[in-house]
Amino acid sequence: MLTVGQLVEEFNVKIVAGRGGLNKEITDYSLKRPSAELVGYLTYLTPQRIQIYGRTELGLFQQLAPELRYENLGRVMLAEVPCLIVTRGLPVPPEFIQLAEERNIPLLASERSTTQLYYLLIRFLANRLAPSTLVHGVLVDVYGVGVLITGDSGIGKSETALELIRNGHLLVADDAVEVQRVDEENLYGRAPQAIRHLLEVRGLGIMDVTKLFGAGAVRDEKEIHLLVELEEWQEGKYYDRLGFDPPQTFTILGIPVPKVTVPVRPGRQLASIIEVAVMQNRLRKTEDGHPLFQSGY
């Protein structure tokens, strides 16, 4: 649970009005900059979101006729709004203060720029509120692509990750991956704090990757673009040999992730196979006219 009061402490913002609402719970990790709403377009108001007012929003508000300001703002500053934040230390119009007190909505002020505050808030709220789950597997950054390697215990996930690191790729998480859905399309993964940058390989024990390979061999989080499932080779089971089978997907937190199943048998170079799988999947998406991994390349 995250309250407005906790947000005030985290970001050290000034409370201008509406102190009675500091115990309000923040439930949505998205933000709202209500420009169109101030002039009457309320279709996408989403009052459960924190509202941010910068130069654009306040400038638009000041353009309204004086007799319309309170009325229009009243349609936007609904009681469900957890709080409002005015950025850049801008003067707060009296209508904001009046409605904040009347409706018990915390009205906050920050000296930060709108862009800076927006970015910091999005990251903070996503970390605290975004839907999340814990996945047993290994997350690596291969050619800038977030690859989640899964499979039964002892199948060779960590050993494959070690070989990928030796090839110049980056470790994000080993054994347990905290996966968060940051919006309707994107998943990010990271390691739990207690095992961050650690890799466990049977026979060698637990290794600190930063000490062995340097700080450039790890990263704290990565968007997940591809899932590679390792499974024991089964005689008689059908495996795609020509690449004609339709692409597989695996759903995590409601978001489908492209999936490749790699059968494991002695002598197979799993790290090399994963590198090629990344390049092949990227090529397929590019040829389809939908470049994959735009944020990673």
For the chain, what is the largest distance between any 2 Cα atoms, rounded to a whole number of angstroms?
79
Give residue 296's pLDDT. 41
Q: Hey, what amino acid is at 112?
A: R
By annotation, the residues acting in catalysis are: 136, 157, 175, 241
Give residue 295's pLDDT. 40
The CATH fold of domain 2-129: 3.40.1390
CA of 55: how far to CAs of 40, 69, 87, in Å? 19, 16, 8
Measure the CA–CA gap between 150 and 284, rounded to whole angstroms: 22
Give residue 243's pLDDT. 65
Q: What is the pLDDT along the chain (297 residues), one digit of tens a residue?
A: 899 999 999 999 999 999 999 999 999 989 999 999 999 999 989 999 999 999 999 999 999 999 999 999 999 999 999 999 999 999 999 999 999 999 999 999 999 999 999 999 998 998 888 889 999 999 999 999 999 999 999 899 999 999 999 999 999 999 999 999 987 889 999 999 999 999 999 889 999 999 999 999 999 999 999 999 999 988 877 777 666 677 789 999 999 999 999 999 887 899 999 999 999 888 877 766 554 444 443
Give residue 288's pLDDT. 65
Cross-sheet strand order for the sheet of 132-136: 132-136, 176-181, 187-190, 221-223
Domain spans of the chain, in order of start = 2-129, 132-296
Measure the CA–CA gap between 124 and 131, rounded to whole angstroms: 13
Q: What is the pLDDT of residues 206-223, one digit of tens each?
A: 999 999 999 999 999 999
Could you tell me which CATH class the domain 132-296 is placed in? alpha beta
Give residue 50's pLDDT. 97
